[in-house]
Copies of this chain bind each other. A is one copy, B any other.
Amino acid sequence: MRANYVPYPRPSHNSISLTPDAAESKVILAGWLVSRRKGGKGLSFFGLKDARGTIQLVATESEAASILHQINLNSTVLVQGVARMRPEHQRRPHPGGNMEVAVHSVTLLNPADSPLPFDPQDERNLANEHMRLQYRYLDLRRSSLAENIKRRSEVAYTVRTVFHEEGFTEVETPILLRSTPEGAREFLVPTRLSAARVSALKHSEGAESPKKPLFYALTQSPQQPKQLLIASGAVDRYYQLARCFRDEDGRKDRQPEFTQVDLEMAWVSWGEHEESVGASRDATGNTTIATQGTDHWRIGGAEVRDVVERIVQRVWAKMEGIELPEHFRVMTYSEAMARYGSDKPDLRFGLEVQDITPHLPTALREVLERRGEIIEALCVRNSSDTDAPFFNAAAQLSKSETQIVQGFQLSDSTDTSWLCQNRVLSDVSGDIQLEDGAASINRALMLDQGGYIWLSRRRRKPEGGSTDLGRVRLELATLAESLQDFTMPSKPHFLWVTEFPLFTRADADKEFLAHGRWSSSHHPFTAPMWQDVEKMYSGDIEAVRGQHYDLVLNGVEIGGGSVRIHDAVMQDYVFQNILELDKQEKASFNHLLHALRCGAPPHGGFAFGFDRLMAILCKTESIRDVIAFPKTGAGTDLLFRSPAKVRTSIMAEYGIQPL
């Protein structure tokens, strides 16, 4: 049968808007024919699905019924008939499930092939992902995937609504930006402008080889444009749902293009004293104020974090019906690393790591002190109620070949083999006798018969994103879940992690502009904590904490931000004296430095990874499930068959050719 295109009347309802109000009235609906069966007394029943739900159609022996029986499932039809409520015992909870339509006439709008590559109604037997990506227009018909796409729109609109209530201005920043001297992770866009052509346009690029091709680069984040925007004073609160691009070949579950909820605010302070924060905040009882060495000062950017909290609160209230606390818990990086072995700790369960150095023999303590190291332990106690859900997992993990560090089970509460036979200790203990006082360590750690313990040695000053025991902790939770001993609490656990080291030894992380001994832990625009500014200038770089804050949800970093450097002198010092940028690299920041010298206000901002946030809200593992037309992990688009070859003659227009 052929598709129909003679004008037909507008549908009067869809499966959602067809409510009992419409009962007994004439209605017109359009949708996909998704099921059919014959009942008794010449009746036939059909499922009519639209983008919102599914309505049952009822037809007697008629031309309409005959059309609906003949055409292929998944064809689109327009039906006219009379709406009625379904008998009470037949009502279904799905959208459209309490109404039906007695069909009088049917127009076939567009017939579907039969069979289709796979059945988009079958949520239980999914085709393999390659097929589903290739025929994404069929897979998107699947209700759960369609639901994700709609939730994404709801969340985006909710987020925008809060931004507008808070006086933010949405500003679109360029996607075609300048390539950076490193060029790593960056997509290039060749242009038909050659160096010579641009030079003729009086651009200051210099008059070199006339054919030298010129490139834009796709923005990796709106970081520089948004700082320049705030420096301009055009707006004091900026936001954007910004598309960003990163050429990260081979990282799991990354997309070459992704979306960031991006914000920046002017007049952000470099800190607030705890007292000035007021009693209401402490009254939540949920706020751990980082006091270690900060003299009761919070790091700056509280104005930003307040807005972020209100956004997250609104989203969770609207999408999940959950009321979150007014302020989220705050934890320093040091504390997070010490207690949970992670800079993005999952607080939905306990299993805290302990520093057992103080319980060790003095001689060993002195060795460790000299090495700047500590010994940490993770215990799963047999008699502990809170550890109980992890006991079987501990048993399983301690026998596993692949465990990160060796786990010991105690034969009784005085068993000290875990201490004396542990390579973690023997590597540094030399001929120090560990047995002496070992029993008292057991008591101090409340170790009991049958309990498990894992040990690890690390530098006292934490580095990186996780420790061995942090990974053991997560593995235990995953195992316990799979053994069904443990169910993750459904309540979301939000956490701010603050006071990260501002700089990282370049040998530990070579990612960003690392020529000298130091690289920026996050990016070179992050401000130091004001208490640490003098340390920075005096060369105690390792001790400088940054005004960076990560937002962590259930062990996943969903966003991060910072107070930025607004002082051109300080920014220049960071570029020149700490990061030791070369001339060309520094030149690429000249406009930023100049903007700071034109009276830039103090400012700070934040960015959420929107795809990851949506994956969490849609309770799916892969961000591909929350993107309408995603690419594979390798960056190929199976639907549009991209990337693709290009004719050499077209490349030539851009001044390039194949290698």
Contact = CB atoms under 8 A, between A and B. Distances in A.
A298 to B, nearest CB: 9
B249 A192 contact: yes
Interface in A153-196: 153, 156-157, 160, 164, 169-179, 183, 187-193, 195
A32 interface: yes
A245 interface: yes
Contact of A7 (B9, B300, B570, B628): B300
A189 B9 CA distance: 45
Given A10-B269, A138-B598, A269-B10, A658 B656 contact: yes
A598 B644 contact: no
A183 B654 CA distance: 12
Interface residues of A, number: 155
A567 interface: yes
A555 interface: no
A189 B189 contact: yes
Contacts of A10: 267, 269, 272, 303
A655 B652 contact: no
Nearest to A197: B634
Interface stretch (A46-54, A82-90, A339-347, A387-395): A46-54
A510 interface: no
Interface string A192-226: 11010010011111001101111111100000110
A602 interface: yes
A647 interface: yes
A51 B235 contact: yes
A234 B140 contact: yes
A187 to B, nearest CB: 5
Interface stretch (A110-118, A411-419, A496-504): A110-118
B639 A599 contact: no
A14 B659 contact: no
Q: Which 9 A-B pairs have the closest CB atoms?
A: A112-B599, A3-B567, A140-B232, A178-B642, A7-B271, A214-B643, A146-B234, A51-B236, A140-B234
A548 interface: no
Given A137-B595, A629-B225, A201 B5 contact: no
A647 B214 CA distance: 10
Given A10-B303, A137-B595, A201-B634, A173 B628 contact: yes
